[in-house]
A and B are shown apart, each in its own frame.
Chain A
Amino acid sequence: MLGFLARRLLAAIPVLFCVSVATFALLYLVPGDPVKAIVGERASPETIANVRHELGLDLPLVERYLLWLGRALRGDLGRSWLTGRPVAASLAARFPVTAKLALTAFSFSTVVGLGLGVWAAVRHNTPADHLARILLLAVGAVPVFVLATAVMYVFGVRLRWLPVSGLGDGGFEHFLLPGLTLGLYLSVYQARMTRSVMLEVIRQDYVRTARAKGLPERAVIWRHAFRNALITVLTLLGGSLSNLLVGSVLTETIFNLPGIGRFTIDAAYARDFPCVMGAFLFQAVVFVAANILVDVAYGLADPRARYG
């Protein structure tokens, strides 16, 4: 197990390296002069040269990358070119927001999505199954900004049960509406996937055996069928969680939550290189970590799996 973890962590290093190189290269390919974005269009050539030098933009590309890498390895992701804030501090301030949103959405979607999926599979091809499918497809087809604005108006503006938007003091109530909105979309996907996986499993011989030996249906479904479906479902959940943890731009923007997603998109639009590099690297780390966790969870769910 420890050996497995060590190997996976080692394998993550080239991944992170590649992500940082690719991000760095892409940043220099997109149009727009970062220095002009900072000093404005009417700056004197001396000022432009000064700023270019201060930011290290007068160095060759490879040298610039190595400088960044050296600092990053020592935990220094630099300062934002536009706001002057240390990138690491910004990420540290914003990750909790994204994490809270992700966990709210994830817990909601897992309960609803898996529950609905199993429920629909057990009743497949009955009116209940069809109704569930239609409902799920209908929800999934509504754009997030429409649903988000609607719940914001109903629960925030009209009923005044919950905050309309924003972070407030970071309390749970500020994450409820965005978490449920985001979770709802996720649960559509999870329910559909769980249902099809469950249908596969339910047709297996061992399920028929379990029924034949007189187990109550509840035990057949949850202990025999679901347990075996879980292996596939775990992959799904892991993917969902890592997607959530790297930030959900639209939800964060509409509900005005300053998380990782908004930080990244703002930085990319502003061509704020240190912020973009830091954000992408951070997201890669989160993504890799989430995937390792899923692999660990496989072993726990499936006794046949070996950490090899």
Chain B
Amino acid sequence: MTSAESPTLRPRRPRRRRRRPSPVALALAAGLAALWLVGLSPPFGPWPGGLWRRTGSVPPDLSTWHGAFAIEPAPLDPVRAVTVTDGAACALVYNGLVRFDADGRVVPDLAEDWSVSPDGLVWTFHLRSGVRFHDGTTLEAEDVVFSFTRLLDPRVGSARAWVLDGVKGAKDFMAGRARSVAGLEAAGPLTVRITLEAPLAHFPALLAMPAAYVVSPEAVAKWGKDFGYHPCGTGPWRLDFWREGVEMRFVAFDGYFGERPRLKALSYRFIPDAATRQAEFEAGHLEVLALGEENADYFARNPRYAGCIRSEPELAVVYMALNCTKPPLDNVLVRRAINHAINRRAILDAIRPGRYILADGSIPPGLCGHEPLWSGYSYDPALARALLARAGYPEGFAMDLVIRAGGMSVLTAEPIQAELARVGIRVRIVQLETQAFFAATGDNGNPDACLLSWVADYADPENFLFPLFYSRNPPSAGNNARFADPVADRLLEEIHRETDPERRAALCRAAEKVIFEQAPWVPLFFPVNLMVTQPEVRGLRVWPVYNGNKMTEVWLEGGR
């Protein structure tokens, strides 16, 4: 510190020192000791380990894909694959009997071909020969039976057991009344025969889901509870390492039976924050960035990324479910009035037209059945008021709209609130954190209305009708509107039986019309997938069903 006094007359420093270490020195010593201890901890290597590196000077590694997951996937075990991230990661390591192609169609994977008996009950799959697991063992029909039985096993407790619960004897096995699943059978070393309880026309689509991936029984036995951290499938990629909270890395599997990956490795970092992902992308450390409302325009204007922005409709729908069992929403006139009162087009234009397509029903464009018979409710506040008066609510009423905190929900819920206020319906928006939201909208909750979205598990219009509107499905299965209509039920059951694609599509269109005439929802939007890639990314396609993508045809061209 400088001082005003003249330094020339500096008196000798009085040395009144106690022989005790000064607290500052002590703190310093303690800090260094702590540094040292921490630096020795095994997972992260030595503390001063990295020298000062200019990150920009590292030459780009064009044989490795650098991706990011917003959330860390669940253990890479098909029976634990629930979220899109889980499924996308499992798709790299495992194969199912069939898979989705880039158009969302079901095509052969582990099974070369299959046939179905005339009554639609017995499905026979012929496996490819010579398929190897990552541990070197060869795929046999017994492995498929093992994997499917494991999914249904109540001791395993999979959240996706429902995928195969239509197999004969599955319910008995799941309830502990049988020791094996009657309908699952290895009819030969490479022949799997599956018998169903009732015809299920979209059964192959179910088999393409991550839950129905085939695992190596030897590896499951070897690793037990930790199998998901030592996954062993037949897929094009093998897990190289997985650092908790940091990164997972896959390397190409040499023995893969299908198209060999063009890249050598895939690295996925776990980056929860969207702004951080964007910064990493702009620094060139990520190959692809999913765009949202906030940054789509920014990249669209940036010449560096011209021609690098892709958009593709997603197989998903955003909607407001109206509780069909709770007054006054149990009155169809009230539900129709709500539909007529909301200017959905205006809301869509306000939040971001490029990210969404207006929805009139529940089946997204791109699925058969989407040349709808049903044309939707027009925006007509006068008609809405008239309908409310006819229903006995000329002065309107009050209701709650339950939404999930964060993200888009508020941007959608507030205009809805304003529109409904104009016809006299007083909406209270209830924002809840994720788990509380699921509790409030689940089987034990009874909300008036809630804002939800539904993402396809498989590319079939049935997936946008049966789970959402079949009367015996509880809210937890998808029927959040608690919708029940005998005509709709009959049509939905018929869809399950109908194998002819034309007639099936007609049935789906008919069912959608029957359902939406009863107005169980205010359908809002079909989301559009928007993403930007680095200029050197080649061969990347947008997959209608996320787990179709096995990252085999992607590569990186030239330098950065």
Contact = CB atoms under 8 A, between A and B. Distances in A.
Contacts of B271: 165-166, 256
Contact of B159 (A42, A96, A153, A297): A42
Nearest to B435: A32
Interface of A: 30-33, 36-44, 46-47, 50-51, 54, 79, 82-85, 90, 92-97, 99-100, 103, 106-107, 118-119, 122, 145, 149, 152-153, 156-157, 160-174, 214-219, 221-222, 230, 234, 253-256, 258, 262-263, 269-271, 293, 297, 300-301, 303
B269 to A, nearest CB: 6
18 contacts: A36-B438, A36-B442, A39-B157, A47-B157, A94-B244, A96-B41, A99-B38, A103-B35, A119-B1, A156-B55, A161-B54, A165-B280, A171-B49, A221-B1, A256-B269, A258-B270, A263-B245, A297-B23
Contacts of B477: 41-42
Contacts of A83: 72, 74-75
Contacts of A160: 54-57, 283
| 3 closest Cβ pairs, A-B complex | A171-B50, A258-B245, A40-B159
Say what secondary structure dominates the interface of chain A: helix
Contacts of A97: 44
B279 A39 contact: no
A152 B279 contact: yes
Nearest to B75: A84
A94 B245 contact: yes
Nearest to B3: A217
Contact of A168 (B50, B159, B161): B50
Interface stretch (B5-13, B122-130, B191-199): B5-13
Given A103-B35, A234-B23, A262-B272, 11 more contacts: A32-B436, A33-B439, A43-B162, A46-B154, A94-B244, A157-B279, A161-B55, A167-B245, A169-B50, A256-B272, A300-B20
Contacts, number: 219
A171 B45 contact: yes
B161 A93 contact: no
A44 B161 contact: yes
Contacts of A161: 54-55
B159 A39 contact: yes
A47 B174 contact: yes
Interface string B424-443: 00000000011110111011
Contacts of A93: 43, 244-245
Contacts of A85: 229, 244
Contacts of B158: 39, 47
Contacts of B440: 31
A42 B55 contact: no
A258 B34 contact: no
Interface string B251-287: 0000000000000000001111101100110110100
